[in-house]
Amino acid sequence: MDSIWQSTVELPKFSRLTGKKKTDVLIIGGGMAGLLTAYMLNQEGTDCIILEKNKICSGTTGNTTAKITFQHGLIYSQLLKNEGIYTAKKYLEANRTALKKYEKICSNIECDFEYKDSYIYSLNNKNKLEAELSALGKIGCRAEFSENIKIPVKNVGAVKIPRQAQFNPLKFAVDISNKLNIYENSFVREMRGNTAVTDSGAITADHVIVTTHFPFINKHGSYFLKLYQNRSYIIALENADDVDGIYLDESGMGMSFRNYKQYLLIGGGAHRTGTKSSCWNGLRRFADINYPNAREICHWAAQDCMSLDNMPYIGRYSKSTVNLYTASGFNKWGMTGAMLSAILLSDMIMGRKNEFFKTFSPSREFLKPQLLVNSFESTKNLLTISKKRCPHLGCALKWNRDEHSWDCPCHGSRFDEMGKVLDNPANGNIENFLL
């Protein structure tokens, strides 16, 4: 079940950590956020090591649809309503800065970077689109209403933002990782102060950054309350249309579209990890009807961390941790969020000020309606009677028969049929799983 990126790009290999080492900055997690942060710190002459539990980019980065955009659903009308104009403006400016940084770095890298217009369409709610256009106007973002979009879905129009981008994330990762100090197959089992301990070594650092998708240290930051995970599905079709843009349904439950070379990527079927879904079946039915001459060349799934207010958590791990940082909760906008994380975290480590620190601080207000939903799900699944339990915090696991995995509805950990961990925050396999 390799993604289109994984099946076409060979990533470099790195050795496993052995023995004890010291560094200025240790980054735990070798996805795009970790790689970019190390890349930027390296350019400033800061000594950095990345520890990756598996292979670099083997998690969400390898399974993304790789859109680079500051159009994140209908976020600006939501932010304007829930957080106010200051936050909405900062969110736009920060993500615009991330797009510009990609433009600059990608100009020297062969990674199939190309500009595309971005569209958020609606099946039936024009009012929501108009509210978003109005919000975008208030915060100074050029956008327009588009009525004739090139996807075979009945819709009432779309909000279009021109000149966003898409790329091949693994071609990009190959280039930026070649000068970085990386250890693979080095699972951090525990933190002892500023020392990360793996099965075969340990690294002590002045600063530690956790970019492990879901922050794995439970005793600080309450991420088990502030995040949940969402799973979605993608198919790549040959002999389908060129949609000439990047598209997403505003409802969050619909489909996304983009092309990569001669292929059309269609995403959808999103659901909270550990709950029932139709996986790829809905997408395949859609493809059969709308692209009867197309052939599926690969399919895969993506897993995303969702925050309480739809904005990522980037910065100090918690108020009480001085040299510990994290970046998570990209809400399906992982490529843009990864670049934003690298900008903010490198500024933080280098002691520079940045006007966006406060907006993305993991310690910001977290009394939001989604907190109640997360708490309810956790309580319900903690009280569910089942022999198969998640080693993270003990919730009952659910069998996912399409992907042959045991999935946790609380915070999204996943395990294979033998109890081997596939997705964190669980920090290890389940012992004696088959008993």
Q: State the residues that interact with ligand FES by CB under 6 A.
A: 224, 390, 392-395, 408, 410-413, 425-426
Q: Which is nearer to ligand FES, 200 or 379 (CB)?
A: 379
Q: Which of 431, 425, 13 is nearest to 188 (CA)?
A: 425
Q: Which is nearer to ligand FES, 235 or 426 (CB)?
A: 426
Tell me the closest approach of the beta carbon of residue 398 to ligand FES, in angstroms.
10
Q: Which is nearer to ligand FES, 99 or 305 (CB)?
A: 305
Tell me the closest approach of the beta carbon of residue 338 to ligand FES, in angstroms.
22
Tell me the closest approach of the beta carbon of residue 59 to ligand FES, in angstroms.
15
Q: Which is nearer to ligand FES, 394 or 428 (CB)?
A: 394
Q: Which is nearer to ligand FES, 309 or 423 (CB)?
A: 423
Residues 241, 245, 248, 249: is their CA dihedral positive or negative?
negative
Pairing type for strands 246-249 and 114-121 reads parallel
Q: Which is nearer to ligand FES, 312 or 425 (CB)?
A: 425
The C-alpha angle with vertex 17 and arms to 429 and 42, in degrees rounded to 5, equals 115
Q: Which two tokens stand for residue 156?
A: 């009432």
Tell me the closest approach of the beta carbon of residue 218 to ligand FES, in angstroms.
9
Please give the Cα distance from 155 to 106 (Å, whole number): 34
Contacts of 261 (CB under 8 A, 6+ apart): 112
Contacts of 219 (CB under 8 A, 6+ apart): none
Please give the Cα distance from 417 to 235 (Å, whole number): 24
Please give the Cα distance from 243 to 154 (Å, whole number): 15
Tell me the closest approach of the beta carbon of residue 426 to ligand FES, in angstroms.
6
Tell me the closest approach of the beta carbon of residue 314 to ligand FES, in angstroms.
22
Q: Which is nearer to ligand FES, 223 or 247 (CB)?
A: 223
Please give the Cα distance from 138 to 79 (Å, whole number): 12
Contacts of 242 (CB under 8 A, 6+ apart): 150, 259, 264
Tell me the closest approach of the beta carbon of residue 161 to ligand FES, in angstroms.
35
Tell me the closest approach of the beta carbon of residue 224 to ligand FES, in angstroms.
6
Q: Which is nearer to ligand FES, 50 or 390 (CB)?
A: 390
Q: Which is nearer to ligand FES, 203 or 396 (CB)?
A: 396
Tell me the closest approach of the beta carbon of residue 296 to ligand FES, in angstroms.
31
Tell me the closest approach of the beta carbon of residue 306 to ligand FES, in angstroms.
14
